[in-house]
């Protein structure tokens, strides 16, 4: 136990050092860009003409467009200090955008669980069904989720529901395959004991097969959640409206690189938190001899 704790401490210190190194490289790379005044050497008439042409001549201009750490810190504080503001369709707080994305992911992922896990149980317990459905699963599984988007928009005619459908279709396959594999891999001795004790099929499914297959099922759910969170960003870029993906695309159109970088970092942090949540669930159902 002490060795594990020591390893975790050393790993945490190493992660902190790597993070500080990245910040130092960022600081050096952006600090070297010279700041020049955009009005330097211009006459009042030239300044007025530049303003009429729509050019911003009242603020310093950087020779490098990549934001500095100070600019990123200001952007992060601006979002964190007021995450729930709502000033119109194209100007909402980051918490509102994130809530829309997480809601879509939760709905699509939940529907996928309701379909994939029971179907995976049936397929895993029936070799005939497993062989019969395997060609269809292998054909549908590698299709890019975004390839379904045009069909979803055409049939559903609602961008938000179409995004949920894309999450559903990309989350089904990892859960279905892993559930079927986990159920089919249950030790034959356990099933023989259940048959000897004349356990009913329903009790056998919940008391024998489900606990044995739970780690594999959770693995499929963990993979599905990672894919779902990855896909929702791209889907929201296509359908627009609300969500963290739409926020990234909208800020790029506004040429706000600091907001784009902030959103990218936020997407990564949320994805890591979701993965850690499923990792803890998987750890809780895994039996260690």
Render each residue's pLDDT in the chain as its tens digit; 289 residues.
Answer: 677 788 888 888 998 999 899 889 888 888 765 444 455 455 565 566 566 655 655 544 444 467 888 888 888 888 888 888 888 777 788 999 999 999 999 999 999 999 999 999 999 888 898 899 989 989 988 888 888 888 888 888 888 888 899 999 999 999 999 999 998 888 888 877 877 877 777 888 888 888 888 899 999 999 999 999 988 888 888 777 788 988 998 888 888 889 999 999 999 999 999 999 998 988 887 765 5
Q: What is the DSSP letter of 25?
A: H
Query: How many Å separate Cα 150 from the centre of its chain?
Result: 21
- φ, ψ of residue 288 in degrees (nearest 5): -110, 120
Coil, helix or strand at residue 197: coil
Distance (Å, rounded) from C-alpha 170 to C-alpha 90?
A: 28
- Read off the pTM: 0.80
- Among 139, 143, 187, 195, smallest CA distance to 169 is for 143
């Amino acid at each position: 136990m002490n060795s594990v704790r020591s390893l975790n401490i050393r790993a945490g210190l190493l992660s902190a050092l790597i993070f500080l190194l990245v910040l130092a490289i960022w600081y050096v790379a952006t600090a070297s860009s010279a700041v020049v005044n955009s009005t330097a050497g211009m006459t009042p008439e030239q300044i007025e003409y530049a303003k009429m042409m729509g050019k911003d001549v009242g603020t310093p201009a950087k020779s490098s467009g990549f934001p500095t750490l100070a600019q990123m810190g200001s952007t992060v504080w601006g979002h964190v200090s007021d995450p729930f503001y709502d000033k119109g369709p194209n100007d909402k707080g980051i918490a509102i955008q994130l809530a829309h994305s997480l809601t879509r992911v939760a709905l699509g992922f939940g529907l996928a669980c309701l379909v994939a896990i029971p179907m995976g149980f049936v397929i895993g317990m029936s070799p005939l069904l497993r062989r019969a459905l395997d060609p269809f699963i292998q054909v549908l599984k590698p299709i890019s989720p975004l390839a379904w988007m045009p069909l979803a928009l055409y049939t559903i005619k609602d961008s938000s529901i179409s995004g949920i459908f894309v999450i559903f279709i990309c989350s089904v396959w990892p859960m279905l395959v892993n559930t079927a594999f986990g159920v089919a891999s249950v030790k034959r001795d356990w099933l023989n004991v259940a048959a000897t004790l004349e356990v009913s099929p329903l009790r056998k499914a919940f008391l024998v097969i489900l606990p044995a297959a739970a780690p594999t099922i959770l693995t499929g759910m963990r993979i599905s959640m990672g894919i779902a969170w990855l896909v929702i960003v791209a889907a929201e870029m296509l359908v627009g409206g609300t969500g963290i993906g739409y926020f990234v695309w909208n800020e790029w159109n506004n040429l706000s690189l600091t907001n784009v970088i902030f959103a990218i970092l936020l997407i990564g942090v949320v994805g890591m938190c979701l993965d850690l949540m499923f990792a803890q669930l998987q750890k809780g159902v895994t039996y260690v001899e």
